[in-house]
Amino acid sequence: MQTRPVLIYDGDCAFCTSSVLFAERHVRPRCDIIPWQFADLGSLGTARERAEYELLWITPTGAVHGGAQAVAKLLLSAGKGWAVPGVLLTLPPLRWIAHGVYRLIANNRQRMPGGTPACALPAERRPASGPPSSQA
């Protein structure tokens, strides 16, 4: 059983990897950080399709938070001044705005600084197809 939250990201995406490295150095979240390509997603209570689609924060009790809410949980875990934006990202209407901004960035991550063609979502995961069915 895991005792710390786990942050799951796309290790093949240069933009995602750079973002996680920034968070490790500057935000210092209290969690284990693992690329989905090396994670036992089934034992963590999620699927590859969801991990390809968004950043995931998985609590020790098995709750899975994705996208902007995973970012909020990451910020909250760091405490100090980072907790304030973390809390704000959980409150409407900022929560809704954060979701939209997250999707815009995630859907275009190959175009972001440090992004490469490998960062692009697989064709079946691109915006026209919407979120995976495991996301509720």
Do 69 and 87 form a contact (C-beta atoms < 8 A)? no
pLDDT in tens, 47-69: 999 999 999 999 999 999 999 99
- Is residue 124 in a domain? no
In a domain, 14, yes or no: yes
Q: Are 14 and 116 in contact (CB under 8 A)?
A: yes
Contact between 65 and 80 under an 8 Å Cβ cutoff? The reply is no
pLDDT in tens, 83-104: 999 999 999 999 999 999 999 9
* Residue 1 within any structural domain of the chain: no
Whole-model pTM over 0.75? yes
Indicate the pairing of strand 32-35 with strand 56-58. unpaired
Q: Is residue 106 part of a domain?
A: yes
- Name the residue range of residue 102's domain: 6-119
By DSSP bridging, strand 64-66 and strand 56-58 are antiparallel
For 1-49, write each residue's pLDDT tens digit. Answer: 789 999 999 998 888 999 999 999 999 999 999 999 999 999 999 999 9
Averaged pLDDT of the chain: 89
Q: Within a domain: residue 129?
A: no
- Please indicate, yes or no, if residue 58 is contained in any of the structural domains: yes
DSSP state of 70: H
Check whether 126 has a pLDDT greater than 70.
no
The position carrying tokens 């100090």 is 80
Q: What is the predicted pLDDT for the residue at 102? A: 97
User: Does residue 136 carry a pLDDT above 50?
Assistant: no
- Distance in angstroms (rounded) separating the CA atoms of residues 45 and 22: 26
Q: How many domains in the chain?
A: 1
Asked whether residue 135 is assigned to any structural domain, the reply reads no
The verdict on whether omega for the bond into residue 131 sits within 30 degrees of 0, i.e. cis, is no
